Structure formats: C-alpha cells, structure tokens
Amino acid sequence: MSLAVSLDGVDVSGVAIRGSSTRRLNRPAQAQITIPMDSAIGGPGSRLKISFDGSLFFHGMVMDCETDAGEDDGFTVYNASDPMELWQWRPARDPDGDFSNPTFIADNIYGPQIMEAILDASVNAGAGPPEDAEGPLFLTMGTFEAGDQSDLTGAPTDWPMTIAQIASLLISTGELDIVITPTDPGGGVMGTVDCYNGDFGTNRSTGPGGDGTAVFSYGMGALNIRRLRWNEDMSTVCNKLWYYGGPRVKTARDPEGDQHWCWNITGDDPKLYGNSANPFGALSGGPFVEHGRGGALTTSIFYDAPATLGPLRESSQTDFGVRMEIKIFDAASGADCLGKNDFDYERWLYRRLWQIEASIRAVPRELVHITPIRGYGLGVFDIGDLITVEAAASVRGGFSGAQRVYGYTVSWDENGPFELSELQTSSDNEGFGD
C-alpha cells in the first residue's frame, strides 16, 4: 500500500515517519502525523491530507501541533480533524437565521432533513455573514435520504443549541447516520456530508442478507484476529427509566411548579403503542406506532414495547434489583400541557429516545473489541458495515455474530506495515448472538 501525506499542499510523505488516520461514523474523523522538527511546516489551521493507494482517506484541519526536542533530535506531532469538528461552534438556525427559538425540527420532522436544513442555514441563513449565517462549513452537501417512518419532532427549549448538539440528539434516536467523505475539489472544500435514516453501511457478515466478505476470527477459521477484548458490564443497567419534560406546570396546590411537569414517559405512556385502527390507544400487538400530523397518518417504527420491553424490564429487575434513573429534559410540548391536544407531536423524539435507552440499558452491556493481524482488513469494510466476529470455544465457550463498525484506524510507522488498530464496533453488539 502506498502513502501520500501533504500539509498545505506540500508533500511530506517522505518525512511523515509515523501516523494514523481514524474514520468514524457520526463523529469527526481524526488524523495524526509525526515529522522531524527540522522538516516541520505549517501549524494550527493547516490542511492535512492522507491518501492510501491514491485514494483520499482523510482531509481536515490541523487543530494543534506539538514539538518535542531532546538532546539528539526532535519531532513535531500534528493532530487534525475533519470539518465536522466545526459544528460544535455553529448555532443551529432556521433559514431566516433564528437560533433563539427555531422551528427546524417541527418543520422538517425527519433526521436527514433536519440536518440538511440547519447545515444549509449555517452557511446561507438570512442575508448571510456577518449579519446572520456563519458561512462555509468546508463541505459540499451530498445525499440526504427522504424521511422514513420515524417522526422525530420534539424541540428542546434550552436554545440556542449547536449543530453538533442537535446531531448528537438525533443520532441517539437511531434514526440518523452522518457520513463525511473526504474530497479535494478545491475552493477550501474538504469533504462531502451525507445523511441517512440510521441505516448506512453494507452487510458484509455471514448472517442473513450478508455477503460474507468480512469475517474476523480468533482461535479458529482464518485466525486473523491478533487480540480480542470481551467486556461484560452492568454498571449502567437501568430497568426503571423515567423521563420528565418541561416546562414545569404551576397549579394552585403547587404554585412554583415543583412537582408538576408538562409531560413524562414512564413506560405506560399510551402513545408509545398503537395500531392503524387506534393510533393513540394503549394497544400492543405490533412493533409499529402510528400517529398523525395535519390529519394524515404516518407510521413510526419503534420496538414492540408491550411485548418485549415489559418482560425484559421485569426480568432485569428480578436478576439485578430495581435500578431507577430519572432524566429531566428542558423541553416543552407545542400542545397544551394539560393534555388537551391529542396529537402532541413534540414528544415523539423523546418517546423514541426512551424506547432505545430502555431497551439497551435493561441488560448488561457486552462489548467485544478486536485487533486484526497486521496487514489484514484494509479495504475489506468501511464504517457502518456489519462484519462477522467469531471466537473459538477457548474464549469462555466462544461466540459468533455480527457487529456494526463505528470506527477504525489505519496506522503506520517507519519500520512496519500499514495496519488496522482496534476496531470500534457496536457499543451494544447489534445483531450479536449469544
């Protein structure tokens, strides 16, 4: 594999004695290079590009550099991030520039469309910078999938919020994936941003629908894993999860609103469950929730909470004891807080968050980390893909299943080959078998 590294357009491949580049789903990509100090150029704000075999793998801005000089030599280390890093410094705006009480979530409903709206507004809102928008994000706008069936309305009231905060909130629902692909078309652009309905990637596992092209085996099969860590952790188990959402409601008996909230979700919210005949009824029987906007019914995909989460919580409480957590969201419903509006759109995002969190946290987290053998795995998969991971019976009885790749690092040094470091796979083993 060939390497090409440049700083501000200057080829430094021959002196970049060490380096790494990490590609990540839903988070900024990162890179680091080390150069002898007598060859060092640029500094914070410099543009770093890394290519493997002629394919651009990273393009971003140097955030910091540090020179460490000793008795005999010295080196400068550059750390860089791709343009998603800038989102933490940009307020999420409406097209007219409003960030103090924006309506872009209610206006766009679905994750990819919400992101498209606020990214565009950051560049172009109002009359443009300096009056309103902040200007270029160093990205071109790519694919923004049409909204699927999951309404994500649920506007927080603690505005302003940054683009990064909104992105994190939407990603947490499982209904949004953000992918930055490095590019170099000129004009300061360093990548293309694409947004998907939480389903980015290719099934490369040996499971149903997979093409079987990415199989990592420890102690068996191809023997292509050189290190494996298997962590089972119940420190974050919660089997009694309650959400409360603001604003607080003042009543005659509670004039300060200390004990009354606009809404809560405790697992018996009737609008968590329903069907087409009774979209707002407390009905079980299917993994779908149907709700209306403007008189039209749309279907939102949720877990089959009555059939699955109830027994799961009960089993968890029996096995691990009742573990309760109460979360407060400073969020207001656009509907009447006394519940007079049956459509109450703005709680759907939080219902989705509750179902995701309640499902994941009812059982101990099971994390499997793998490091492939040197020289193996490069180009076999990408972020978002499902891969098969398996271990022989010598590893506590063994296991086999699919994991989603959320990040991986390609690294090199002056003495060794390119290699993959530990893969950042599914935090809770999506699709992983017993």
pLDDT at residue 344 tops 70: no
Fold of 3-81: Phage tail proteins - horseshoe like beta roll fold (2.30.300)
pLDDT at position 175 is 86
What's the Cα-to-Cα distance from 69 to each of 15, 18, 158, 316, rounded to whole Å? 16, 16, 47, 55
Q: Name the pLDDT band for 280 (thresholds 50, 70, 90).
A: very low
pLDDT digits (tens, 9 = 90+) for 96-152: 999 988 889 888 988 999 999 999 999 998 766 667 889 999 999 999 998 766 677
Query: What is the C-alpha separation between 392 and 382, in angstroms, rounded?
Result: 25
pLDDT at residue 37 tops 80: yes
Q: Name the pLDDT band for 222 (thresholds 50, 70, 90).
A: very high
Query: What is the C-alpha separation between 148 and 352, in angstroms, rounded?
Result: 14
Query: What is the C-alpha separation between 167 and 177, in angstroms, rounded?
Result: 9
pLDDT at position 356 is 81
Q: Name the pLDDT band for 324 (thresholds 50, 70, 90).
A: very high
* Secondary structure element (H or E) that encloses residue 299, with its range: strand 296-301
Q: Where is average pLDDT lowest: 149-153, 175-179, 211-215?
A: 149-153
pLDDT digits (tens, 9 = 90+) for 370-429: 899 988 888 899 999 999 999 999 999 998 888 899 999 999 988 767 889 888 776 444
Compute the C-alpha angle 23/199/305, nearest 5°. 125
The pTM for the full model equals 0.83
pLDDT at residue 35 tops 80: yes
pLDDT at residue 221 tops 70: yes
pLDDT at residue 246 tops 60: yes
- DSSP string of 23-40? EESSS--EEEEEEEGGG-
pLDDT at position 342 is 41
Does residue 177 or residue 274 have the better pLDDT? 177
CA–chain centroid gap for 336, Å, is 32
- Say which residue the tokens 């060859």 belong to: 39
* Secondary structure element (H or E) that encloses residue 111, with its range: helix 111-124
| Structural domain spans, the chain | 3-81, 86-196, 215-234+364-425, 240-361
Q: What is the mean pLDDT of residues 259-268?
A: 79
pLDDT at residue 295 tops 50: no
pLDDT at position 297 is 31
Percent of the chain with pLDDT over 70: 82
pLDDT at position 58 is 98
Does residue 71 or residue 323 have the better pLDDT? 323
Q: What is the mean pLDDT of residues 85-97?
A: 95
Most confident region among 22-26, 147-151, 243-247, 344-348 by mean pLDDT: 22-26
Structure tokens at 181: 């692909």
CB 346 within 8 A of CB 408: no
pLDDT at position 270 is 60
CB 221 within 8 A of CB 390: yes
Q: Kindly give, in sequence order, each residue whose CB lies less than 8 Å from that of residue 237, ignoring residues fewer than 6 positions away.
A: 316, 320, 323, 361, 362, 363, 364
Structure tokens at 300: 């939102």
φ, ψ for residue 58, nearest 5 deg: -145, 140
pLDDT at position 301 is 34
Give the count of alpha carbons within 13 A of 421, CB side only. 13
pLDDT at position 157 is 63
pLDDT digits (tens, 9 = 90+) for 182-209: 999 999 999 999 999 988 999 999 988 8
Query: What is the C-alpha separation between 343 and 332, in angstroms, rounded?
Result: 14
pLDDT at position 334 is 47
